[in-house]
Amino acid sequence: MIRYALVKNRSPVHAVKSVLEKMLSQKLVDAILAAARNPYSLLPMPTLFCDPGKMEGIDPLAPVAPFNAARQAAAVTKQPTGKRIALVLRPCEQRALIELVKLKQCSLENVILIGVECLGRLENQAYIQHASEVSDFTSVFYKNPDMQAEVTRACGVCEQFTPAGVDLTISLLGAPEGGVGITAETETGDTLITQLELAVADEPESRAAAVGKLLQGRIAARDALFKATVEKINHIEKFQELIATCLSCHSCRISCPVCYCKECVFITDIFAHPPETLLRRAMKRGAVKLPTDTTMFHLTRLAHMSHACVGCGHCSSVCPSNIPVADIFRTVAAQTQALFDYQPGRDISEPIPYLVFEEELSESSV
Amino acid sequence: MIKNTKILVVGAGISGIRSALDLAETGHRVCLIDKAPAMGGILSQLDHQFPDNHCGMCRMLPMIDRDNGQQFCLRKGLFHENIEILLSTEIISIEGNAGNLTVTISRRPQGVDPDRCTGCRDCESECNIEISDEFSAGFRKRKAIYLPTPHQIPNQRVIDWDTCSLCGACRDACPTGSIDLDNQPETLVLENIPAVIISTGVELYDPGHVDLYGFGHLPNVVTATAFERILSSSGPYQGRLFRPSDGKALKKIAWIQCVGSRNIMIGADYCSTACCMFAVKEALLASRKIGKDARTAIFYMDMRTFGRDFQRYKDRAEKDAGIRFVRCRVHSIEPAENDKDILISYIDSSGNPIDETFDMAVLSTGKNPEFQLPEFASREGVFTVNSARGFMDIQGAVISASVASEKAGRSVSKKGSALLQQRPEKLYFDAVCEEKPQLQIVLCTCGDFLKPVLDWDRIKAELKNMPGRIEIARIKMICDQNGWDEMIAMLRNTTANRLLLAACNPLVYLPRLKELSQETGIMPSLMEVINLRSMVDQATDLAFRTRAVLCELEMSIRRLFSHNPVEPALYPVSKSALIVGAGPAGLTAAISLAVRDFKVSLVEKTSRLGGNWSNIQSAESRETIRTLVTEVENHPLITIHSEAEVIQSFGNPGRFVTRIRSNNKDEKSLLHGVTILATGGRAAETTAYSYRKNNKITTLFELEERLQQPDFAVGSNATIVFIQCVDSREEPRNYCSRICCLKSLKAAITLREVYPQSQVYIFYRDIMTYGNSEQVYTQARRKGVMFIPYDLENKPRVRIESGRIMVEGSDPVLDEPVFFEADLVALATGIVPNPAADLVSIFNLKTTCDGFIREADSKWRPVDTGREGIFICGVGRSPSRANEAMDEGKAAAQRALRILSKDTMIASRHTARVRHVFCSLCETCMHVCPHGARYMDFELQRVQVDHAACQGCGVCAAGCPNSATIIESFEENGIMGAIEAAL
Amino acid sequence: MTAFEPKIIALVCNWCAYTAADLAGTSRLSYPAHIRMIRMMCTGMIDSKYILKAFLDGADGVFVGGCHPGDCHYIDGNLKAKKRILGTGKILEQFGFEPERLRLRWIGASEGPEFQQNMTDFVTAIKTLGPGQTNNRMVL
């Protein structure tokens, strides 16, 4: 059974803050990882809190994320510490984290997952601009549909804005002014609601409608994006044009939360061609662009990780050449994920496609 | 006279290969002979084998020290450093004493010198003698000079002296002078032979002797072996199912079982064991090929699906493939109206005579009753594989071959014959990694053949543009000894550390690379062979051909330059074994290892040794087990841990650490090199047929015990009913327990002997008296035991009416109900494996759906598990009779000896390597590894490769996204370089 | 204009498909010379990079030949390959490479004629499709 609790305060930001502070001060958890501003920047960064008194800048609802925090979440859960840690994450971060768990990069033992319903994030510069103009920009954002339209393209097509498979969900859609909903999906979450003495209520009637409406719009936008992107990549020549300005900086892969390799294969010896090889390539073809293997890099990354792509869009956000990497990934990922009937981050027990094989020996080939 | 310390293995079929490899892998030298001019025996004619329709013969090849043998398809032949192979060779006599035999062999020359033959076939075209080809079961003709099998290596032809007219046409046609028409057999006397293993296989029955089958005069009546050739894509019709007489596409095919078997009239009071499954397999393959129009029927007496997986296989054949199983005895096979068709007359199960027309009849021929082993097979020091006594399936043949090698090895070790010293192999040459890669290409010009067909100037010029330091040399013919020597002389003088051999068939050269390495100092893993000759044959014009050759050269160059061998860590082998389970299988394995001076820890969960021995009826087996128990208890090298269980185990082949708990409290760690699981089984429980509702309804096991009690009595006119296959051979326990039929028959015979006035009925589905146990069935029939067949739709019913036991069934022949008041009902409930879930998870193994521990491969590696160093035998693996379980124990011990006989585990080439600096510890590689050859080293926080278990398949590397795992000689940059070079 | 001579890479497993190729060779069953064969120990070791690399470097087709399911020397490497190839093919398809250009077939060790047939069929299929997307250019 799902329990819904309503927390009201001056603003949603304060409501969330009050709950998280209480969690720490009541020692329900030993630490909380959540986005927070620090004195040096307006940009909230994932921050690991142990002292409830230090939670001034905490703002997991802020419509910005400098990067997908799954990696930071994995960093604090890589090995068991014996401490109970709450991770406050957006849905795309939490789904990426589930993939990282499957890839043995971290463990959810003794971890409480708190998912934040996310209407999308702004690009970092846009957010800083807005946040420097108004105080409590977060609350302003949630009231202002025009602002919400400014979210990144990846967020604009994201249909998984509501967390799933977490202990607690912090939701805004349908919540009354100044309040947030807190939903428990698991027994752990349920216990927490009781321990935190949150006011259990019926889920507001308006919530389902608000979620449905947003979802409909997102799906339409997503399908339009798929259609447009297919047109841009459905021939290798077109794709070449699309990535012509790629600098091979690998920022997309560095920002990718599920690209978990310590070092990308493209910076290992496998692709470190000796001069003789480069010359041989030039000799055979007459001319060769340097650095080489750019297309290979993007296609390989798709082959390696598209089944696990959570659509967070950070690859596009970080691209210095404004290549729509996320559009390409989401479009291709839709195909590979459908092929294997796989949804990344859906369920921790759902095995990675490349780790399960037919047992039944059919003679069919490809 | 040749002094010899080689163990002689006679017969190079599957059993002979298994025995030879068993011994070779444990450090013996072996000489493997066969009277045929090619290896493989009957298996070389079969592409698919039951019970899974797959091949997998290559899984018999060594998995430890792979570099001593070949790494390619076993159909091509067997290559192993410790095995010498003599074909067209027969034994004339064996003299002397055990451990020191003198064997006289006669070897017929093959007529063609393999060192000179280029396989051009000119000889064959010139030969004017044509006879029917045995390999194709007579569907093709061959010449007197011919290829005995299409796939063997080297693939030079041989002369069949029995048909050759010595006209000399072939000799004159041979461009390389490789043919010698001197056909005088060479007689060799081998002295000091420590042991001989006879694995000659059995002769198959020739159905031409019996008119009833029409074999020999009806072209569409063929033997099962001949039908294999029709099925084969290398067969007479390229695998399409045509019939020999008129080329008509086959649709309706009948298999006739027990041809030459189970026939007292011809002296064949035995079952040939494998033919039922053989027929099911052929019918399945045929049905698959024919498609929906297939109409296949098997005419049988009992469908002997006694193997663990056989019943389900047969059920699938019946239900999914629609194969019709007709229980009857065929009384005639005649030409039909359209005299190409076959008319089969039989009496169906209801007693009606039926004539049915088929496109073809396949005769399931078994062992020839006239076949006898040579007299010397019974000599001391000569060990005969069971598959040379009776026809056997692959699993049986492989196990019995290992039993023979165990016996031979044991007798040799008793005589103190030294094993081959483990040579400290110099696989890795220290300096190579630091040296700058330099490549020597050796191009074989195949005599003068390649000179005019390639643009040599262009090749020379292009090679200059290829990356790396490359030298090139041309040699006229490296396949002949002069060319080979010339190459070696040249390579000794070069500074190159990599070698590319561009010649012809690489499979011919791969087994010789190690030898070449010892001669030249170039590491075998830095050598590559490519097939220049076939490229030249395929392409049509000079430019295209030259381009193809350049592509292939560059591909290999790129790969060779990417190789960067690193010496893997080796570790010492712990010379001791852990055996879990002290039943017949476990005890036998313990003795087998202890007598070879290896320490054994025997863990048994109960307080006594012997397993189910109290259930064993055969006095002989009981005595054997009793002796075994005493022997084990008194052996100084065997430590018995009774009332003990395994609680944890980790490690690699050669060094496992296992924790055991005794008496529910004391814990102990054991260090051991191998593990043998012999966890056994027990009687299955049942609630069927009113069991336990009346004390006259017992299980077969209980009846056996009662029969031994002095106070056992039934009335002299008693009616005794046995019901076979209780809860067995149907889901969920859909397997045959192998022991019940024989037990019921023996009990029935005893009862008839003690109470001649009694009525003894056996309700059965199929009597599973395979092999010589058929004689017990014959005897029971003679003793007047009545047999009533039933099927699953028509099971007998047992009712209790006011204390009286009523058994009701139906007689299929009379199609009438039969009804008895029984004084005793015995239920053959069969056996189930002991629960092994815990052990299986501790050792990371798998079970079948019935809970038996699954072997690595039911045919080729029946006593291995998926993890190297862990072996499995007895009822825990599969239902078996006591003598079979003991055989499996020996076979498992023999497999274990491969590891225990080594001082150090030596890694083979082409194994995986983790580059820890890149590894992200995602464990994907561990998950996909088919051999469990990877483990997490928690201390170092590293994924480690067990180089002994790793077979170099590379699934790990393909799964590793950033090439943290690489496979030696298959480095990714090399392969991508090759792809680049190819385009 | 010269006739289209397709460039084809065949990645074949050491145990079955390669043995079949060898048997085809020794039985003098000829197949088109457009095929550049690379022997792998197992199809399971075929990295998706190899297939991508081949197509990006200008291959008109990639053929993968493995053992029949159940025959794999390494138990199920061929089935692991099948999944990987399915995934890689799906990705290539998004970039306009026709799925028909990547073909996986099971060929048993004694199936020399099948090897020949498969090679001939594949070359014919590729010739019918015409030059590949990269059209013999190296896409980098």
Lookup: tokens for B57: 């013969």
d(C-alpha B196, C-alpha B327), whole Å? 43
Residues A211 and A271 occupy one common structural domain: no
Number of Cβ pairs < 8 A linking chain B and chain C: 176
Residues 6+ apart with CB under 8 A from B306: B736, B738, B768, B770
Lookup: tokens for B21: 């490899």
d(C-alpha B949, C-alpha B655), whole Å? 12
Q: Is the pLDDT of residue A149 over 70?
A: yes
Lookup: tokens for B427: 């696989």
CA nearest to C71 within chain A: A361
CA nearest to B915 within chain A: A268
Q: Is the pLDDT of residue B922 over 60?
A: yes
Neighbour-count burial for A16-28, b at 16+ CB within 10 Å, e otherwise: bbbbbbbbbeeeb
Q: Is the pLDDT of residue C112 over 70?
A: yes
For residue A239, the number of C-alpha atoms closer than 13 Å in the C-beta half-sphere is 29
Give percent above pLDDT 90 in chain B. 67
Express each pLDDT in A351-363 by its tens digit: 999 998 876 555 5
In the prediction, which pLDDT does B121 show? 87
Asked if the Cβ–Cβ distance from B982 to C26 is below 8 Å, we say no
Q: Is the pLDDT of residue B188 over 80?
A: yes
Strand B186-193 to strand B100-107: parallel, antiparallel, or no bridges (unpaired)?
Answer: antiparallel
Residues A122 and A251 occupy one common structural domain: no
Residues A213 and A301 occupy one common structural domain: no
Residues A159 and A264 occupy one common structural domain: no
In the prediction, which pLDDT does A171 show? 92
Lookup: tokens for A107: 């463990």
Over residues B585-605, the mean pLDDT reads: 96
- ∠ CA A214-A215-A221, nearest 5°, is 90
In the prediction, which pLDDT does B417 show? 47
Over residues B111-119, the mean pLDDT reads: 83
> Is A10 contained in some domain?
yes
Chain C CB within 8 Å of residue B394 CB: no
Over residues B505-532, the mean pLDDT reads: 85
Strand B655-662 to strand B804-811: parallel, antiparallel, or no bridges (unpaired)?
Answer: unpaired
Residues A195 and A107 occupy one common structural domain: yes
Q: How confident is the model at residue A365 (pLDDT cuts 50, 70, 90)?
A: low
Residues A88 and A27 occupy one common structural domain: yes
Alpha-carbon dihedral sign for residues B240, B245, B250, B253: negative
The residue of C4, C7, C15, C139 whose CB has the most chain B CBs within 10 angstroms, and thus the best one to mutate to test that interface, is C15
Query: What are the distances in angstroms from CA B853 to CA A159, B874, C71?
Result: 47, 10, 21
Query: What are the distances in angstroms from CA A231 to CA A238, C87, C97?
Result: 8, 21, 14
d(C-alpha B971, C-alpha B978), whole Å? 11
Nearest-CB residue to B978 (from C38, C58, C69): C38
> Is A73 contained in some domain?
yes
In the prediction, which pLDDT does B84 show? 94
> Is A360 contained in some domain?
no
d(C-alpha B953, C-alpha B881), whole Å? 37
Residues A199 and A253 occupy one common structural domain: no
Question: Which domains are present in chain B?
Answer: 1-108+185-202+371-421 (3.50.50.60), 110-182 (3.30.70.20), 207-365 (3.50.50.60), 430-562 (3.40.50.1110), 572-682+833-904 (3.50.50.60), 685-829 (3.50.50.60), 910-969 (3.30.70.20)
**Span between the terminal Cα atoms of chain C, in Å:** 27
Could you tell me the strand order of the sheet in which A3-8 lies? Answer: A41-49, A31-38, A85-89, A111-116, A168-171, A179-184, A3-8, A199-201
Chain B CB within 8 Å of residue C91 CB: no
Q: How confident is the model at residue C135 (pLDDT cuts 50, 70, 90)?
A: low
Express each pLDDT in A6-29 by its tens digit: 898 888 999 999 999 999 999 999
Of A170, A186, A221, the one marking the end of a domain is: A221
Q: Is the Cβ–Cβ distance between B498 and B561 less than 8 Å?
A: yes
CA nearest to B534 within chain C: C25
Express each pLDDT in B411-420 by its tens digit: 988 654 445 5
Residues 6+ apart with CB under 8 A from B851: B832, B833, B835, B836, B837
Q: Is the pLDDT of residue B437 over 70?
A: yes
For residue B337, the number of C-alpha atoms closer than 13 Å in the C-beta half-sphere is 3
Chain C CB within 8 Å of residue B507 CB: yes
Express each pLDDT in B709-755 by its tens digit: 888 888 889 999 999 999 999 999 999 999 999 999 999 999 999 99
Lookup: tokens for A80: 């068991």
The residue of C47, C60, C104 whose CB has the most chain B CBs within 10 angstroms, and thus the best one to mutate to test that interface, is C47
In the prediction, which pLDDT does A329 show? 97
- DSSP string across A137-205: HHHHHHH-HHHHTTS-HHHHT-S--S--S-SEEEE-TT--TTEEEEEE-SHHHHHHHHHTT-EEEPPPH
How many separate domains does chain A show? 2
Among left, alpha and beta (phi > 0; psi -120 to 50; other), residue B538 is alpha
Residues A150 and A277 occupy one common structural domain: no
Q: Which of B12-26, C20-34, C45-59 has the lowest mean pLDDT?
A: C20-34
Q: Which of B430-439, B631-640, C94-103 has the lowest mean pLDDT?
A: B430-439
In the prediction, which pLDDT does B429 show? 53
The residue of A226, A246, A279, A357 whose CB has the most chain C CBs within 10 angstroms, and thus the best one to mutate to test that interface, is A357
Over residues B168-196, the mean pLDDT reads: 92
> Is A275 contained in some domain?
yes
Greatest alpha-carbon pair distance for chain B in Å reads 103
Q: Which of A100-104, B74-78, B465-469 has the lowest mean pLDDT?
A: B465-469
Over residues C130-136, the mean pLDDT reads: 76
Angle between helices B542-562 and B972-982 (to 10 degrees): 170
Express each pLDDT in B826-885 by its tens digit: 999 999 999 999 999 999 999 999 999 999 999 999 999 999 999 999 999 999 999 999
Q: Which of B796, B535, B839 is nearest to B677 (CA)?
A: B839
Q: Which of C31, B403, B360, C29 is nearest to C10 (CA)?
A: C31
d(C-alpha B533, C-alpha B530), whole Å? 9
Angle between helices C77-94 and C48-56 (to 10 degrees): 40
> Is A194 contained in some domain?
yes
Q: What is the mean pLDDT of chain B?
A: 91
Q: Which of B31, B884, B24 is nearest to B405 (CA)?
A: B24
B942: helix, strand or coil: strand
Asked if the Cβ–Cβ distance from A354 to C90 is below 8 Å, we say no
d(C-alpha B775, C-alpha B271), whole Å? 9
- DSSP string across B242-286: B-TTT-PBP-EEEEEEEESSSBGGGTB-SB-SSHHHHHHHHHHHH
> Is A228 contained in some domain?
no
In the prediction, which pLDDT does B424 show? 45
Q: Is the pLDDT of residue B678 over 50?
A: yes
Q: How confident is the model at residue A220 (pLDDT cuts 50, 70, 90)?
A: very high
**Residue numbers in B near A263 (CB within 8 A):** 917-918, 962
Q: Which of A224-238, A242-256, B289-303, B568-582 has the lowest mean pLDDT?
A: B568-582
In which element (H, E) is residue A97 found? helix A91-102
Q: Which of B436, B850, B496, B865 is nearest to B653 (CA)?
A: B865
Residues A112 and A141 occupy one common structural domain: yes
Q: Which of B36, B38, B34, B23 is nearest to B68 (CA)?
A: B23
Q: Is the Cβ–Cβ distance between B953 and C42 less than 8 Å?
A: yes
A85: helix, strand or coil: strand
Q: Is the pLDDT of residue B257 over 70?
A: yes
Dihedral angle, C-alpha B364, B366, B369, B372, nearest 10 ° = 150
Cα B280–chain centre separation: 19
Query: What are the distances in angstroms from CA B683 to CA B465, B700, B890?
Result: 74, 10, 24
Express each pLDDT in B260-304 by its tens digit: 899 998 999 999 999 999 999 999 999 999 999 999 999 999 999
Asked if the Cβ–Cβ distance from A303 to C87 is below 8 Å, we say yes
Express each pLDDT in A303-335 by its tens digit: 999 999 999 999 999 999 999 999 999 999 999
Nearest-CB residue to B234 (from C36, C59, C112): C112
> Is A365 contained in some domain?
no
> Is A34 contained in some domain?
yes
Q: Return the amino acid letter for B897.
A: L
Give percent above pLDDT 70 in chain B. 97
- DSSP string across B44-105: GG-S-BTTTTB--GGGGS-SSSGGGB--S-GGG---BTTEEEE-SEEEEEEEEETTEEEEEE
Over residues B790-807, the mean pLDDT reads: 93
d(C-alpha A155, C-alpha A218), whole Å? 9
Question: Which domains are present in chain C?
Answer: 8-129 (3.40.50)
In which element (H, E) is residue A238 found? helix A236-242
Asked if the Cβ–Cβ distance from B56 to C73 is below 8 Å, we say yes
Residues A329 and A350 occupy one common structural domain: yes
Chain B CB within 8 Å of residue A340 CB: no
Q: Is the pLDDT of residue B394 over 80?
A: yes
Residues A203 and A249 occupy one common structural domain: no
Express each pLDDT in B958-977 by its tens digit: 999 999 999 988 999 999 99
Of A188, A221, A254, the one marking the end of a domain is: A221
Domain that holds residue A239: 233-355
In which element (H, E) is residue B395 found? helix B394-414
Of A184, A199, A221, the one marking the end of a domain is: A221
Q: How confident is the model at residue B1 (pLDDT cuts 50, 70, 90)?
A: very low
Residues facing A35 on adjacent strands: A46
Residues A196 and A237 occupy one common structural domain: no
